[in-house]
Structure 1
Amino acid sequence: MLKKSVLALGLASVLSACGGGSDGDESPNISVSVNAGPDISVNEKTEFTLKPLGSPSGGVFSWQMVSGPELEGFPQEGEEVVVEAPDVKGNSKIELKVSYTAPDGSSASDTLVVNVISVNLLPSAKISQTAPEEGAAKYADTITLSAAESADNDENGSIVAYQWEKLEGPATVSAERTDQVTLSFVHPLLAEADTVTWQLTVTDDEGASATSTKQLALVANDQLVLANAGSDQQVQELDSVTLDATQSVTVDGQFGCLWEQVSNGSAVTLADERACKTSFMAPLKSGNQATSIDFKVTVTDSAQRNGSDTVNVEILPKPLGKLNDTGTTKCYNNTSEISCGNSDFPGQDAELGRDAVVQFLPKSGQGNQAFDFTKFSEEFEPLTSDSTDFSCVLDNVTGLIWEVKEVTAGTLPNTSTRNAQNHYTWYLNDGANVNPGAPNTTCPQDNYCGVQALIDTVNAASFCGGNNWRLPTYMELANLLDHNSSGDYLLDPNYFPNVPAEALLGHQYYWTTQTSVDGTDGKDDNLVRALVIDMKTGNDVTRNKSQTAYVRLVRRYGEDDQ
């Protein structure tokens, strides 16, 4: 390789005398040059010598780095320089520049390239078992192997990748991750002892790899079919219950199932007794106490070996309470009717409560959806559901007995005692400062036309077997509403006939016992408004107690007469 030298030229003065002669000496040109030497190749971390040539002799050599990995001690001076090649991660080039200054101060420079060859030591792969900590592993133990003791033998090297591979062993042995410093797998269920061999490959930061293997002994298990019927469950009546034995374990992973009910109590019908995952509907039971059913699953493997397990299902009473549902049977989105069960519009009225499970509910009487009514005569004798001549209705859900109004006939005040068109002021025994209502005006009573007048008359006659009739509370009357009732009146017409004509008062408001805080009399601050329920819309409205509204009396079945 040719080296470039930079020459410094000395100038000579030529003296000449007149007459064409010369009486002085001609000075020769003086040049300076330097040669750094040929490019060289050296292994990393080995010594090499720099020995340039300079002319004329007697000058000074100076070295400095131009590019490449750093060399210790640079820049430095010297005619002969011993240098140690740096530790590099891959083959590298270092460019050095030497400058030579001659005794007369002139200078020249030259460069050379040092090719530093990376000499990578192979890493060491080492496997150790870190779990289980004590004793030999057995079925279901998690076995953990670690490569943490593996190392890169270069002083400044490191392990950058780990890779595990199963070379031999049962097919049921597998690991979730094989590219980490540790490897974990579960000891399989085995009919005979076996071994598993794992190979570890580690790679250092310069791409060099090393491998190691480790063989582990796997032991046979005494029990070869491990039936798993799942966790005990707690459900409610009419819930769909799933029995799941799919987590059972056999040697080859193949098995079949057979379920059977093994405890006394309500017999249930399984969707498929031979399916490992099956279901049934929790039965409706009598009473408010929880009951339970035990199921046994027998698991059989491909070699006809079997094992069994049981699961308990506790059945709690469905929290339907002692209230009626609303009778609502349809579901809606923001604008129109949709099929119930839509996940975008969940938890609708038609999907919850008694109406949602009406097909499974036992009834003492009849009624729309989950409503359950029984008709009674005026002497409180039970009647059939198709009777047309009845005087009161027992709500079998709430235990309340409701007055049935008499047919609209005559002209007020010449009407019957419980005529549908009679209406009253909200005047009760405790109704201070409330207009009792003039007698023989909006009702046929001779004393006054307040609610108490109707209550007293009905109780005096022991109507429908009781003298504890009263005005219903807000919740009692609201809970009677059937929002799926046909027509414009929100009560089942088969059980609550004889509706007053809306044109009579311009509304279908019925009194409740609930006083409203909306207004006072302005004198003694007595509250003068009470809540009524509009039987046409189901809405509640506040009404001045001195105004009139319709009344439907109620009493509780089995309650002492008052």
Structure 2
Amino acid sequence: MGRLIHSALSIILATGLVACGGSGGDEVTENASINVGADRDAVEKSELIINAQVSPPGGTFRWQQLSGPAIEGLPSEEQELALMLPDVKGDRAAQIKVDYRAPDNTLVSDTLTINIASANQLPQIAIAQIAPEQLPSQYNDVVTLSAAGSSDPDENGFIASYLWQQTEGPQLQFSAVDEATLSFRHPLLDSDTTLAWTVFVSDDEGGQVSTEYSLLLNKTAQVVIANAGDDQQATEFDTVTLNAGNSETVSGQFSCYWQQQSGSAVTLASERQCETQFVAPDIDVAQQLSFSVRVSDELNRSASDEVTVSVQRRALGLINDTGMSACFNNSQAISCDSTDFQGQDAQQGRDSVAQRLDKVGKGDMAFDFTKLNEFADELPDSATEFACVRDNVTGLIWEVKQANTHTLPNTDLREGQNHYSWALNGEGGVLIGSERAPANSSCPSDVDCSVQQYIDEVNAIDFCGGANWRLPTYVELLSLVDYQRHGQAHMISPDYFIHTPSVSLLGHLNYWTSRTSVDGQSLSQAFIIDMSSGNDLAYPKDNTAYVRLVRNP
């Protein structure tokens, strides 16, 4: 029994060799052990000596890094190491392992954790004024301060952020407060003024330092800057805005007073508001309007500035507009401000500015007519007896009919109820398709009742001071139609085109134009315009229609 106990004890003693280390990761062998000691604390960029204690001696070593920032000197096969710890951005941990192969080829290992502390050096601040080039700065100069010369003493460190905080002086508008440079405009000053900032600079490891920086700005010679705005381009009848809101005073508070200096007189919405408006006048030729503004601060210190508005004529065209003053949807009148039905006649062209037009004569909406006597002399608009009418938009002179006092064909030459077939002479003679209605059929002529015969007879009497009367073109006749009169007896001004027939032909008030309808065959039709509806129609030339002659001045 004693022999058995002695043998068991011998076995335990023979197998009880253990490798001890800081991490407890040792391997159990029969003959070998290794121990690198407890985990170590060290500072970045310092040298650290590590020694592995082994038993039995005489074996080989292999060191390697398992994790963490790379350490100079690894891997290695020495028993004792002199490690150079790396530069770290913040505290870091590195783990290394050593393997030991004993002389009997037994392999044991141990691990060590090295806690590397960062030894960050704080930034060094440098601030300088780099603009303007010529010092001291003057009003409106861009002043630039720079902290870009600041540095990080760490070998591989850098400046990560900047922050400028103004602590003294008037409030300014800065380019940015979180960049290396800070820019602002030299303001108006009525005394020398000190500006001050606290400047914060941080490095890539979170280290931050701050400093105070101050700058003296000289007072300005002028303490009120009037700014009437940039010169403008406008078109007659435009609404023009004058704005002196960009004027400057030391306090930022000011009042304004506007006056017109030249050009056609306009009415300002308010002379004593810094922002005001006016409507560009009706002009015959382009012109310039000039305005001055006097800007005053709360101490009644003031300065003035001028602005010019170049006004061009509005391209209203050489013919009349449609006469429409209202806008419509599919079924009823609506506001012309509606965005659902845009681009209507009442919103554009001459009618859209009818109330502002400087007319030669008078007329509804944008129509502009002047009454003339039998010699083409102008008459007042109140005249009840007149022979013809001048359209002041197109410049054309229109025939005014005689009163309808008789029964066809026993009528006067120019009665409105006379009607004619379409026949005209051209440079080469009678135009193709011309048709001549019989004499004394629908007019009082003993020759024939054609348009050409009527033209010849009117020119023969030098009517209304001219012998160049003719049949109007399609566009000329259409320019008389006032579509605002839709639904009334006729769509032409009753104040200027008197004696329009009350009895229509076949339910229409058809008037001939000089335009032949090109049907590709006989040229037997010409366009008429129905003055009771405003519609046009290709109409057979052998039919008869009413005639209103026109001539150029």
Task: Name the TM-score class by shorter chain.
Answer: 0.7 to 0.9
State the one-letter code of the partner of 2:547.
V
Q: Distance in 1 between matches of 2:387 and 2:294?
A: 60
The one-character-per-residue Cα deviations of 1:266-320 (angstroms, maximum 9, x if unpaired) are: 44443332222223334445xx334444433222222222222233344444444
Evaluate the alpha carbon distance shift between residue 189 and residue 435 of structure 1 in structure 2; reply closer, same or farther with a 3 A threshold: closer
1:86 aligns with 2:107: no
1:45 aligns with 2:66: no
Evaluate the alpha carbon distance shift between residue 331 and residue 150 of structure 1 in structure 2; reply closer, same or farther with a 3 A threshold: farther
Residue in 2 that maps onto 1:17: none
Equivalence map 1:182-193=2 (5 Å): 182-193=181-192
TM-score, scaled relative to structure 1: 0.84
The structure 2 residue matched to 1:360, chosen from 336, 342, 356, is 356
Residue in 2 that maps onto 1:168: 168
The one-character-per-residue Cα deviations of 1:227-272 (angstroms, maximum 9, x if unpaired) are: 2222333434443333322222222122222233344x64444333
Alpha-carbon shift at residue 475 of structure 1 (Å):
2.1
Evaluate the alpha carbon distance shift between residue 369 and residue 167 of structure 1 in structure 2; reply closer, same or farther with a 3 A threshold: same
Alpha-carbon shift at residue 409 of structure 1 (Å):
7.2
Residue in 1 that maps onto 2:520: 519
Residue in 2 that maps onto 1:301: 297
1:3–1:35 Cα contact (<8 Å) kept: no
Q: Distance in 1 between matches of 2:218 and 2:51?
A: 70
The structure 1 residue matched to 2:346, chosen from 324, 347, 350, is 350
Residue in 2 that maps onto 1:438: 437
State the one-letter code of the partner of 2:300.
Q
1:127–1:212 Cα contact (<8 Å) kept: no
Evaluate the alpha carbon distance shift between residue 269 and residue 366 of structure 1 in structure 2; reply closer, same or farther with a 3 A threshold: closer
Residue in 2 that maps onto 1:478: 478
The structure 1 residue matched to 2:271, chosen from 267, 270, 273, is 273
Alpha-carbon shift at residue 139 of structure 1 (Å):
1.0
- Unaligned runs of 5+ residues in structure 1 are 9-29, 522-526
Q: Distance in 2 between matches of 1:341 and 1:428?
A: 47
Supply the RMSD in Å over aligned alpha carbons.
3.0
1:99 aligns with 2:99: yes
1:519–1:528 Cα contact (<8 Å) kept: no
Residue in 1 that maps onto 2:221: 222
1:141 aligns with 2:137: no
Q: Distance in 2 between matches of 1:503 and 1:242?
A: 52
Evaluate the alpha carbon distance shift between residue 298 and residue 2 of structure 1 in structure 2; reply closer, same or farther with a 3 A threshold: closer
Residue in 1 that maps onto 2:193: 194
Q: Distance in 1 between matches of 2:495 and 2:327?
A: 25
The one-character-per-residue Cα deviations of 1:194-225 (angstroms, maximum 9, x if unpaired) are: 22123321211111112234322211112222
State the one-letter code of the partner of 2:450.
G
TM-score, scaled relative to structure 2: 0.85
Q: What secondary structure does 1:77 align onto?
A: coil
Residue in 1 that maps onto 2:467: 467
Residue in 2 that maps onto 1:26: none
Alpha-carbon shift at residue 514 of structure 1 (Å):
3.1
Q: Distance in 2 between matches of 1:73 and 1:417?
A: 126
Q: Percent identity?
A: 49
Q: What secondary structure does 2:483 align onto?
A: coil
2:438–2:448 Cα contact (<8 Å) kept: yes
Q: Distance in 1 between matches of 2:148 and 2:266?
A: 57
Residue in 2 that maps onto 1:490: 491
Residue in 2 that maps onto 1:323: 319
- Unaligned runs of 5+ residues in structure 2 are 1-21
The one-character-per-residue Cα deviations of 1:134-172 (angstroms, maximum 9, x if unpaired) are: 232111100011222222222222222111111222x14
The one-character-per-residue Cα deviations of 1:17-64 (angstroms, maximum 9, x if unpaired) are: xxxxxxxxxxxxx33322232111111121212212222222212122
Residue in 1 that maps onto 2:27: 6
Evaluate the alpha carbon distance shift between residue 278 and residue 382 of structure 1 in structure 2; reply closer, same or farther with a 3 A threshold: closer
Residue in 1 that maps onto 2:13: none
Q: Distance in 2 between matches of 1:282 and 1:244?
A: 16
Evaluate the alpha carbon distance shift between residue 148 and residue 540 of structure 1 in structure 2; reply closer, same or farther with a 3 A threshold: farther
Evaluate the alpha carbon distance shift between residue 477 and residue 103 of structure 1 in structure 2; reply closer, same or farther with a 3 A threshold: same
The one-character-per-residue Cα deviations of 1:335-380 (angstroms, maximum 9, x if unpaired) are: 6533234466555432334333333334444322222223445565
State the one-letter code of the partner of 2:388.
C
State the one-letter code of the partner of 1:3.
G
Q: What secondary structure does 1:144 align onto?
A: strand
Alpha-carbon shift at residue 133 of structure 1 (Å):
1.6
Equivalence map 1:24-35=2 (5 Å): 30-35=30-35
Q: Distance in 2 between matches of 1:518 and 1:116?
A: 102
State the one-letter code of the partner of 1:466.
G
1:58–1:103 Cα contact (<8 Å) kept: yes
Segment drifting more, 371-380 vs 116-125 = 371-380
State the one-letter code of the partner of 2:90.
G
Segment drifting more, 215-224 vs 422-431 = 422-431
1:447 aligns with 2:468: no
Q: Distance in 2 between matches of 1:517 and 1:77?
A: 110
1:126–1:212 Cα contact (<8 Å) kept: no
How many equivalent pairs are there?
527
Q: Distance in 2 between matches of 1:175 and 1:382?
A: 68
Q: What secondary structure does 2:227 align onto?
A: coil
Q: What secondary structure does 1:402 align onto?
A: strand
1:249 aligns with 2:248: yes
Q: What secondary structure does 1:350 align onto?
A: helix
1:132–1:144 Cα contact (<8 Å) kept: yes
State the one-letter code of the partner of 1:511.
W
Q: What secondary structure does 2:520 align onto?
A: strand
Q: Distance in 1 between matches of 2:378 and 2:274?
A: 50
1:375–1:393 Cα contact (<8 Å) kept: yes
1:423–1:549 Cα contact (<8 Å) kept: yes
Q: Distance in 1 between matches of 2:200 and 2:524?
A: 90
Q: What secondary structure does 1:468 align onto?
A: coil
The one-character-per-residue Cα deviations of 1:65-86 (angstroms, maximum 9, x if unpaired) are: 2222222343332211221112
1:262–1:296 Cα contact (<8 Å) kept: yes
State the one-letter code of the partner of 2:72.
E
Alpha-carbon shift at residue 95 of structure 1 (Å):
1.5
1:436–1:449 Cα contact (<8 Å) kept: no
Q: Distance in 2 between matches of 1:390 and 1:256?
A: 57
State the one-letter code of the partner of 2:461.
A
Segment drifting more, 271-280 vs 453-462 = 271-280
Residue in 1 that maps onto 2:366: 370
Q: What secondary structure does 2:93 align onto?
A: strand
2:420–2:437 Cα contact (<8 Å) kept: no
Alpha-carbon shift at residue 480 of structure 1 (Å):
1.3
Q: What secondary structure does 2:255 align onto?
A: strand
